[in-house]
Amino acid sequence: MTADRSAPRPCAPGHVLCLDLGGSSLKAGLFDPDGRQAALAAVPVSFEEDRAGRSEQDPGQWWRALALAVEDLAARPDWPGPPACIAICGFTRTQVFLGRDGRAVRPAISFRDSRALGPAQAALARPDVRAHADAGDLNPFHPLARLLWLAHHEREAWEQVRLVVEPKDYLNLRLTGQAASDPISLHWLARAMAGGAASLAAACGLTPGRLPPVVPAGGIVGRVQPGLPGALGGLAGVPVAQASTDTWTAVAGLGGLRAGRAYCISGTSEVVGLMAATPGRAEGLITMEWGEGLWQIGGPGQNGAALLPWITDLLSPGPAPFAERLERLLAARPCGKPLLFAPWLNGERTPYWDRDLRGAFLGLTPEHGAGDMVRAVMEGVALANRDVLSRAEAAAGQEAGDFRIAGGGARSALWNRIRADMLGRRVVASADAELGLLGCLAVARVALGQAPDFAAAADALPRATESFAPDPARRARADALFRTYREARDALARASHALAAIGREDFSDPSE
């Protein structure tokens, strides 16, 4: 079902309020009519997790964080008053379960939650489910698997659920009173529910439904309802534009929504993909329509920029700033012997979709020092980027041009040079820390009729970038490391699964 909430007619430029809900914080940026950031506020949010694979967040904390961020901005002396538009993006693969009153019936199940492995495996053990055309997509991170888990383990909560939405949809609903999502955020659940009795959901024993109306990116979800508390009350009547997932919106802000461009959003985990004019498909990758005549081939990983602080803290703990400790580790001259790092500390999503896959250093010798290990971690993440990109290029039948990167991992010049060498193509790194906010700004400009499409809106935004060209002299080494990386994966997967099985066994002494 698609809601008819078209964009307003073109209007004079004004300030735009953009919000990006991440797993660790909600960021709010106020942009002036020239597209420059006038103010920024951030409020932390947190996961509740345990060793059993549970990863949840209370949607109420997102709403409280939004209210605090707006209060912060509105209290500043240069606050211009109600903005011309609001746009919100947020992390995805996270299910928010709403009851009849539009309130969450339980905490949201986050993208890092792996408890649905059992329900997914049980469903796939049935011949009728395995035979379904969409069964290949069912894994512990699929939203349908999360629904199966809830229906089995928390039946009372499941029976209260009337809508399943994404985090940014929840915030839009609290602002406007209108429930809606966009086609990209809803893709997997909508596909699993499509076909009624012939759907994958029905084959798994769930009645299709519980999805909100669809408003495409750039449409208007609604207007801020009156009577909201505090500074939110001053936003009454402001239109709220539909954005999408944090990845799509960040790629929009990066100027990546053009066929032939590759991207990497390098955060705690990384998302890598290729934009293509045709819907090529590759094993382990996600192919999804990201606009008219534009397809994304790639997907989210489970490991990324967070691995650099991890190895730095491990090898050089202490009170000194992270950047200082990292520089000290890298100051040592490389020993010259190859060292391969498999970057799967937290399992892996794209392209392996294996929660038990684990990381490893291969080739360690007494000559290797701490700096060699840090560089190997950087190279391992770059090799993971190449793994996804090479599969996407083969599926699309074309090579990518520039590899556009943004996020925390894009701030290291050394890492960007390593990626360029490993990928064999120019890396264009964005100096803008908040690509999600810039993407929301592009969405708002389309919604307000100030730009014909998202690419044009992004191209008009002020943006600082730095380019890193691959070193031809390093090409042969990069190719050899990549072959070894690919070949090592199967052996490491077998060892990882064996270790996971050992970890699940009880080896305690029964006499104790």
Rounded (5°) CA angle 484-488-489: 125
Structural domain boundaries, residue 84: 16-248
- Whole-prediction pTM value? 0.81
Residue 348 CA: distances (Å) to CA of 34, 268, 344: 40, 13, 6
Task: Specify the CATH number for the domain of residue 36.
Answer: 3.30.420.40
In-domain check, residue 350? no
- 50-87 CB burial, b ≥16 within 10 A, e <16: eeebbbbbbbeebbebbbbbbbbbbeeeebbebbbbbb
* Per-residue pLDDT tens digits for 102-116: 999 999 999 889 999
Confidence band, pLDDT 50/70/90 cuts, at residue 12: low
3 state DSSP class of 30:
strand
| Statement: residue 286 has pLDDT above 60 | yes
In-domain check, residue 104? yes
| Statement: residue 330 has pLDDT above 90 | yes
Asked whether 35 and 457 are in contact (CB, 8 A), the reply is no
Residue 22 CA: distances (Å) to CA of 209, 295, 340, 411: 27, 24, 31, 19
Rounded to an integer, what distance in angstroms lies between the CA atom of residue 317 and that of residue 327?
Answer: 13
| Statement: residue 511 has pLDDT above 80 | no
Q: Parallel, antiparallel, or unpaired: how do β-strands 16-21 and 85-90 relate?
A: parallel
Which residues is 223 bridged to in the sheet?
A: 239
* Per-residue pLDDT tens digits for 399-444: 998 999 988 899 999 999 999 999 999 999 987 778 899 999 999 9
Asked whether 212 and 233 are in contact (CB, 8 A), the reply is no
In-domain check, residue 262? no
Rounded to an integer, what distance in angstroms lies between the CA atom of residue 442 and that of residue 395?
Answer: 29
Residue type, 294: L
* Per-residue pLDDT tens digits for 196-216: 999 999 999 999 999 999 999
Asked whether 451 and 442 are in contact (CB, 8 A), the reply is yes
152 half-sphere exposure, CB direction, 13 A CA radius? 16
In-domain check, residue 432? no
| Statement: residue 8 has pLDDT above 60 | no
Number of domains composing the chain: 1
In-domain check, residue 233? yes
- Write down the pLDDT at residue 506: 62
In-domain check, residue 230? yes
